[in-house]
Amino acid sequence: MADLLGQWVELKSFEKYREWQTPRGFLCGTYAASVLLAYWQDELDQECLPQLEITSNQKEELIRTLQSFLQPIDLPTIPFQISCGLNRFFRHYQIPYRARGTAIGSWQRVTKRIAVGEPVMIGLLQLLGSSYKNHWVVVHGFMETADGQKFYKVHDNWGNSEAIIPAEWGNGTITLVSQKV
């Protein structure tokens, strides 16, 4: 990756999800997961959510449906909870996908997935310096500078679809894997 130092490696813009904002409480996990799924359907696999017939224009239905699997009582979430909830969602609707979660770190998973065109949901931790405190976002770009600083370009469900944050804030990832044969 040395030849990419100082350059953004990023996916198509997440601007169309700008209005997908967490309205209250601790629903950032549900909102980030809904943006992750909507992007997959809109940009990677139009049949990603066939049984629900949900498009990014029908965000409220997707968010409401996901909340019942991920955050039914509106409490904060951890990677294991999000990945298990997404997997229950996929099984319930017989969608041939699986969510994979990691509990710590993010850089290796993010750079690998973005390089193949897939967004990654990451947890941000206040303990690691996050000014967002503990929060979920969707990464759609990354950059490493010549002096070793690492950054993510993220869709933040508090209203900024192009936020730039230090990669060191990331802890825990959620990615999707197709199970299609």
List of domains in the chain: 2-178 (3.90.70.30)
- Evaluated on CA atoms 14, 18, 26, 131, the torsion sign reads positive
* pLDDT at 109 (0 to 100): 96
Q: What is the pLDDT of residues 128-155, one digit of tens each?
A: 988 888 899 999 999 999 999 999 999 9
Range among 23-32, 42-51, 77-86 rated most confident: 77-86
Q: Specify the 3-state DSSP secondary structure of 161.
A: strand
Instruction: Find, among 63, 15, 1, the residue nearest to 43 by Cα.
Output: 15
* pLDDT at 52 (0 to 100): 62
- Alpha-carbon span 58 to 39, nearest angstrom: 13
* pLDDT at 24 (0 to 100): 65
Centroid of chain to Cα 177: 13
Q: Tell me the pLDDT band of 169, cut-offs 50, 70 and 90.
A: very high
Instruction: Tell me the average pLDDT across 85-100.
Output: 94
Instruction: Find, among 2, 28, 45, the residue nearest to 157 by Cα.
Output: 28
Q: Tell me the pLDDT band of 78, cut-offs 50, 70 and 90.
A: confident
Identify whether the C-beta of residue 89 lies closer than 8 Å to the C-beta of residue 102.
no
Number of C-beta neighbours around residue 150 at 10 A: 16
- Alpha-carbon span 164 to 162, nearest angstrom: 6
Instruction: Tell me the average pLDDT across 75-84.
Output: 88
- What is the 8-class DSSP label of residue 103? S
Min mean pLDDT across 21-30, 48-57, 62-71, 126-135 is at 48-57
Which has more pLDDT, 43 or 49? 43
